[in-house]
């Protein structure tokens, strides 16, 4: 009887923690061991059951039919014509299940396969399978069949930030708070790495791959799984934001002469920063720095490591300064998106809006190349743009590459 009461008490505590996105189960460090490894097999979210993949274990808490807060996958995946619902900065893994088909203007059949929409974690119970086309990470050697949530996130939360200089270690002062929302380390206490991202020396069983870069210093707002029609969700990215991606994509660091199209981890410079701040939409360069930011084209705030400074940026609408940096996440989402190569907008087509509206398979009479919609309905396209109304853009809005380059 005593054991049953203890189990019920544990379940109540765990449920409360999971329900509160501000004080989640991990909260920056190792959660209760029983949460994943325990004997509470009757609780769907608590037991590490034999035969389950690591990603399936993670998705027991991080997937839902109506995702909120920390939930990054719509589950079950929505049917054809219905968009995934999670709108976290990293995107919704359910896009991995979405196959988009359409006919080009010349009649050729085109497809945007689900496996091109994100990081293909292995979680068969949720409909996610290893990438069947790429056997290893682009520009790197990480084996595709080994990719899981814990390929990037350390489930035990060992990596911690120990000082205002952004020093990351895998041991030392105890972690007493999440490092994702602006809590600062002290002389006696550390905070967890951003989103439990792993750092130097990290590896998982089944692969010899070992990380050589520490996680970035970054801060997210408390409310981050939301539509952005009335305002952007701004994650403040600091030091190491691009370098960390090189743990698996090292071959993309030397962008010149490679298949990668863009530099990353370099300062924007005065001319690009000025363009970003003036650019509002196609045909409108009347903007100014104070209101220039868009989460569709985020940037790294220099090499900041002070989380208090970064926390203040999460509520700012200001655009970049010349020493701020372009990074991998300027163009890509971390988990998955509606577009090929995990991009934040459709980089493969000329326009994002047609005559003031989004393109769509249900808007074939708008005079647009059918490929502009990429096989999506107008409603799907709007959600892919994080629920922004098309009025945020020009009447025939060109690629958001123009936010920095203004060639439209």
Residue 39 has pLDDT above 70, yes or no: no
Task: For 289-337, write each residue's pLDDT tens digit.
Answer: 999 999 999 999 999 999 999 999 999 999 999 999 999 999 999 999 9
Mean pLDDT of 3-14: 38
pLDDT confidence of residue 12:
35
Decide if 20 is inside a domain.
Answer: yes
Task: For 134-151, write each residue's pLDDT tens digit.
Answer: 999 999 999 999 999 999
Cα four-point dihedral sign 250, 254, 258, 264? positive
Decide if 401 is inside a domain.
Answer: no
Task: For 75-108, write each residue's pLDDT tens digit.
Answer: 999 999 999 999 999 999 999 999 999 988 788 8
Evaluate whether 310 touches 301 at the Cβ level (below 8 Å): yes
Pairwise CA distance, residues 348 & 104, whole Å: 13
Distance of CA 81 to the CA centre of its chain: 23
Q: How confident is the model at residue 363 (pLDDT cuts 50, 70, 90)?
A: confident
Decide if 142 is inside a domain.
Answer: no
Mean pLDDT of 358-371: 78
Decide if 130 is inside a domain.
Answer: no
Decide if 347 is inside a domain.
Answer: no
pLDDT confidence of residue 257:
47
Number of domains in the chain: 1
Pairwise CA distance, residues 264 & 244, whole Å: 12
Decide if 45 is inside a domain.
Answer: yes
pLDDT confidence of residue 48:
58
Residue 400 has pLDDT above 90, yes or no: yes
Cis peptide before 76 (omega within 30 of 0): yes
Instruction: Give the CA distances from residue 290 to residues 78, 301, 316, 318, in Å, rounded to whole numbers and listed in that order.
Output: 39, 15, 8, 4
Give the DSSP per-residue string, 214-246.
Answer: PPPPEE--S--SS--SSS----EE-TTTTGGGH
Pairwise CA distance, residues 115 & 150, whole Å: 19
Strand segments, DSSP code E, in 133-210 are: 160-161, 168-169, 175-177, 190-192
Looking at 19-33, 289-303, 354-368, which range is the least confident one? 19-33
What's the burial of 15, exposed, middle or buried (CB within 10 Å: 0-12/13-18/19+)? Answer: middle
Q: Which of 266, 301, 297, 326 is nearest to 403 (CA)?
A: 297
Pairwise CA distance, residues 180 & 230, whole Å: 23
pLDDT confidence of residue 32:
80
Q: Quick one: tokens of 179?
A: 């490092």
pLDDT confidence of residue 36:
79
Residue 377 has pLDDT above 70, yes or no: yes
Q: Which of 390, 335, 348, 343 is nearest to 111 (CA)?
A: 348
Mean pLDDT of 333-358: 96
Give the DSSP per-residue string, 19-79.
Answer: H-GGG-SSTTS---THHHHSS-TTSTTT---TT--HHHHHHHHHEESS--TT--EESSPP-
Q: How confident is the model at residue 236 (pLDDT cuts 50, 70, 90)?
A: very high
Pairwise CA distance, residues 230 & 224, whole Å: 13
Pairwise CA distance, residues 23 & 235, whole Å: 18
Q: Which of 191, 168, 166, 189 is nearest to 178 (CA)?
A: 191
Decide if 107 is inside a domain.
Answer: no
Looking at 37-51, 230-244, 302-316, which range is the least confident one? 37-51
- The residue with tokens 């199209």 is 261
Evaluate whether 285 touches 401 at the Cβ level (below 8 Å): no
Looking at 32-41, 252-261, 340-349, 385-394, which range is the least confident one? 252-261
Q: How confident is the model at residue 23 (pLDDT cuts 50, 70, 90)?
A: very low
Decide if 19 is inside a domain.
Answer: yes
191 phi and psi angles, rounded to 5 deg:
-120, 155
Range of the domain at 41: 1-50
Pairwise CA distance, residues 396 & 39, whole Å: 57
| Single pTM value for the model | 0.90
């Amino acid at each position: 009887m005593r054991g049953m009461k203890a189990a019920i008490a544990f379940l109540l505590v765990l449920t409360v923690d999971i329900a509160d996105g501000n004080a989640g189960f991990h909260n920056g460090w190792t959660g209760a061991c029983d949460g994943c490894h325990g004997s509470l097999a009757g609780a769907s979210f608590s037991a590490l059951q034999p035969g389950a993949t690591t990603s399936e274990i993670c998705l027991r808490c991080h997937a839902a039919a109506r995702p909120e807060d920390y939930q990054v996958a719509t589950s079950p995946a929505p049917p054809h014509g219905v968009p995934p619902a999670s709108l976290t900065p990293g995107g919704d893994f359910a896009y991995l299940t979405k196959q988009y088909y359409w006919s080009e203007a010349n009649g050729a059949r085109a497809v945007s396969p689900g496996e091109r929409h994100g990081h293909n974690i292995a979680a068969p119970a949720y409909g996610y399978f290893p990438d069947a086309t790429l056997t290893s990470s682009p520009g790197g050697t990480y084996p595709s069949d080994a990719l899981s949530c814990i390929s990037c996130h350390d489930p035990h939360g060992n990596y911690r930030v120990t000082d205002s200089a952004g020093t990351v270690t895998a041991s030392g002062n105890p972690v007493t708070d999440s490092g994702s929302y602006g809590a600062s380390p002290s002389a006696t206490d550390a905070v967890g790495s951003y989103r439990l991202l792993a750092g130097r020396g990290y590896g998982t069983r089944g692969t010899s791959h070992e990380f050589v870069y520490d996680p970035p210093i970054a801060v997210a707002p408390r409310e981050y799984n939301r539509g952005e029609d009335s305002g952007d969700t701004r994650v403040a990215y600091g030091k190491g934001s691009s370098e960390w991606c090189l743990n698996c994509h090292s071959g993309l660091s030397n962008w010149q002469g490679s298949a990668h199209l863009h530099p990353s981890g370099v300062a924007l410079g005065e001319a690009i920063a000025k363009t970003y701040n003036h650019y509002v939409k196609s045909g409108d360069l009347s903007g100014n720095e104070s209101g220039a930011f868009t989460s569709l084209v985020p940037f790294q705030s220099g090499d900041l490591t002070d989380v208090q400074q970064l926390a203040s940026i999460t509520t700012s609408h200001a655009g970049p300064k010349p020493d701020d940096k372009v990074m991998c996440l300027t163009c890509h989402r971390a988990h998955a998106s509606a577009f090929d190569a995990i991009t934040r907008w459709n980089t493969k087509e000329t326009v994002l809006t047609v005559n003031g509206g989004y393109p769509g398979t249900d808007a074939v009479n708008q005079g647009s190349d059918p490929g502009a919609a990429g096989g999506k309905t107008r409603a799907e396209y709007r959600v892919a743009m994080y629920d922004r109304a098309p009025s945020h853009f020009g009447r025939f809005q060109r690629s958001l590459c123009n936010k920095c380059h203004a060639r439209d």
